[in-house]
Amino acid sequence: MPTDRAHQEKLLIRLLSGGNEKAFEQLFDTYRNILYKYSYSMLGSKPHAEEIVQDVFLKVWQKRETLSPELSFKSYLFTITRNRIITFLKKAAKDQELREVIFYSSRKFTDSTDLHIRETEVEKIKKEALNLLPPRRRQIFEMSRYEGKSYEEIAKELGLSKNTVRNQMSMALETLRDFLLKHKHISIILFLFYKNWL
């Protein structure tokens, strides 16, 4: 960003932090399209991408007094946007009607060959995630999720207490969710296996 533009943006942020609506409108006009394109690339739904952008700028206005002209406003906006998208996709993963709206509105998922490729990508991502777990924790997770065994069955088979198995599963899930939610292909992950795998 050229120096004069950066200076102008800092000035706008100072004005915004003081409640200046004109400054807010200018910043909105500057970043609306780029945030919309980013949201749409993740969701594949124009209405929901627009909703995300509206939510982001609503938060900016509500938190305007805490804004610092010295920090990157663009990075701040993208952080909020990403968090909003993750929250939305987590909700969609658990809501069949919403999941279908997002899934079928995206051209990315209309081609069966493309979907097969994405499923292959997801399997690779799963392996990456599982490799983060210590051997015993991974074993417990796989016995639960892949073999369908109960905590009690796992405990008996491995000579552990049921409580230990439960704690190991809890830590495994926390590690895996953290990895998946930070992954760049979050939208693919959530739609294809988030609900069932975790």
Angle of helix 135-145 relative to helix 151-158, nearest 10 degrees, comes to 140
Predicted confidence band at 97 (pLDDT cuts at 50, 70, 90)? low
- The whole-angstrom separation of Cα 44 and Cα 121 is 19
Q: Which CATH architecture has domain 111-197?
A: Orthogonal Bundle (1.10)
The proportion of the chain whose per-residue pLDDT surpasses 90, expressed as a percent, equals 47
- Give the least confident one: 70-79, 85-94, 109-118: 109-118
Residue-wise pLDDT for 140-167, tens only, equals 999 998 888 899 999 999 999 999 999 9
Predicted confidence band at 115 (pLDDT cuts at 50, 70, 90)? very low
Q: Which segments of the chain are extended strands (E)?
A: none
All residues at 6 or more sequence positions from 150 whose CB lies less than 8 Å from its CB, including other chains: 144
The yes-or-no verdict on residue 138 having pLDDT over 80 is yes
- The whole-angstrom separation of Cα 60 and Cα 67 is 8
- The whole-angstrom separation of Cα 20 and Cα 58 is 14
Angle of helix 96-105 relative to helix 73-94, nearest 10 degrees, comes to 120
Instruction: Please provide the average confidence, as pLDDT, over all residues in the chain.
Output: 81
Count the alpha carbons within 13 Å of 182 in the hemisphere toward its beta carbon.
8
Residue 31: C-alpha distances to residues 4, 58, 149 (Å)? 17, 13, 50
All structural domains of the chain with their residue ranges? 3-100, 111-197
Does the domain spanning 3-100 belong to CATH 1.20.1560.10?
no
Q: What are phi and psi of 20, to 5 degrees?
A: -75, 115
